[in-house]
Amino acid sequence: MNDTDNKTRELIKLYKKDVLRQLFPLAKFSLTSTTSSNNLPTRSFNALISICGLFDKTNYEINPNTEFFHFTSLPALSQILQSGFLRMSDFNCLSDKSELHFASQVFDNCTDEMVKEKKSKILSLSACLSTAEILNNEHMWNQYASKGMGCAIQYKFVSTNIHNMVFGKILYGKRDLKNLRKLKKLNEKFKKEHDFEVADLPMLLLKVSAFHKNIMYKNEQEVRLLFYNESDYPKDFVHRNYYKDFYSDQQVRNFIKLYIKGKNPHLPVSHPKYENDLIYEPEIEISRVIIGPNCSDILNTADHIKKIQTTHNINFDVWYKNQIGPLIKLNF
């Protein structure tokens, strides 16, 4: 190994310590290579910054045993149970059209059009922490569960050891954007001092910016599972559970199926590699469905849910959120 190679290795190690790990203590690289020009020492480190374990020991980190709420309508619940999966949808499908734009202020010369172009490559599943505060939040029931006539699906991930996705809490408000600004400034400082940079840092900033939202949404206590399609050509993108929908506005929307445990036809629980394959094909396990406080016919609704459970062999409890008082478990 020549002196230039040794110097490059030292710079890479120093960059990891002085830049990346100042915010992400367990950050690491994958698919590494270096480039130089005119026989000068290497100036750029071409590598992907791994998202595996990226949020460990940070404010974005989530306890792997945490459960979540997904608020939805009763027809949507039926569709989820009958199809056997939740959707990770691309950012163009999200109701909040300001997604990504809020944190884009951190980037230099980042226009709304540039952000919009990236949205189709970012697929996400959003949920809320399963806290009493969220369950009693009228806004969540009104906004996402048909004004309280829908339900809340309580679930957890079968495994949160997910290698090709990043999983974390949403941080709210401009104050928490200091994380991204700090990382950007550390990179600029390192480049100035060592004439060396990591080419993938802007992409990392983009991915992490998906975990920042306006302070007005703070009461939603949102968490997010995120996948970014690295390919510039959708036809080159390969994911076993990747699909497309064609909407009435003639737009194509991308999504990934996030199967309920036992419902993935490609990965039955009995498969000898089931546990290992979960790192690439995450699944959820539903613990209960909570019928909303404004449901007009609780018993018939619960009976309908139970029939779908029986037909599709999905086990969970059914509860009712009374308008006053504690939750009521519905026994059959």
Q: What is the pLDDT of residues 252-270, one digit of tens each?
A: 677 889 999 999 998 999 9
Q: What is the pLDDT of residues 134-169, one digit of tens each?
A: 999 999 999 999 999 999 999 999 988 888 888 999
What 8-state DSSP symbol labels residue 155?
E
Structure confidence at residue 42 as a pLDDT band (50, 70, 90) = low
Query: Would you state the pLDDT for residue 89?
Result: 86
User: What residues does 46 pair with on adjacent strands?
Assistant: 33
Instruction: Place 332 in a pLDDT band, splitting at 50, 70 and 90.
Output: low
pTM (two decimals): 0.88
Residue 319 confidence (pLDDT) above 90: yes
Where do we find the tokens 């950050």?
27
Residue 40: the pLDDT is 45
Question: Which sign does the torsion angle of CA 315, 289, 216, 229 carry?
Answer: positive
45: left (phi over 0), alpha (psi -120 to 50) or beta: beta
- Please give the Cα distance from 75 to 81 (Å, whole number): 10
- Say how many residues make up the chain: 332
- Backbone φ and ψ of 95, nearest 5°: -70, -30
212-213 and 171-172 strand pairing: parallel
| Most confidently predicted of 181-185, 251-255, 285-289 | 285-289
Say whether pLDDT at 103 is over 50: yes
3-state secondary structure of 230: coil
Give the pLDDT mean for 297-307. Answer: 95
Q: What is the pLDDT of residue 32?
A: 60
Residue with tokens 């270096």: 34
Contact (CB, 8 A) for 315 and 309: yes
- Kindly state the percentage of the chain with pLDDT values over 70: 87
Of 79-83, 158-162, 164-168, 198-202, the one with minimum mean pLDDT is 198-202
Neighbours of 33 (CB within 10 A): 10
Cα separation, 261 vs 114, whole angstroms: 37
pLDDT value, residue 253? 73
Going by their DSSP bridges, the two strands 68-72 and 284-291 should be labelled as: unpaired
pLDDT higher than threshold 80 for residue 52: yes
Residue 251 has pLDDT above 80, yes or no: no
Q: Kindly list the domain boundaries of the chain, sorted by start residue.
A: 1-50+175-199, 56-170+211-329
Give dist(CA 23, CA 183) in Å, integer: 7
**pLDDT value for 123:** 87
Q: Is 291 helix (H, G, I), strand (E, B) or coil?
A: strand
Element (DSSP H or E) covering residue 308: helix 298-312
Of the candidates 167, 207, 174, which has an alpha carbon nearest to the alpha carbon of residue 60?
A: 167
Residue type, 111: T
Amino acid identity at 259: Y
User: Mean pLDDT for the chain?
Assistant: 85
The pLDDT value given to residue 120: 76
Pairing label, strands 44-49, 85-90: unpaired
pLDDT for residue 79: 96
**59 pLDDT above the threshold of 50:** yes
Query: What is the pLDDT at residue 35?
Result: 57
**pLDDT score for 235:** 45
Mean pLDDT highest for which of 4-13, 118-127, 132-141, 253-262?
A: 132-141
User: In which element (H, E) is residue 196 found?
Assistant: none
User: According to DSSP H, which parts of 129-271 are helical?
Assistant: 132-135, 138-144, 178-194, 201-209
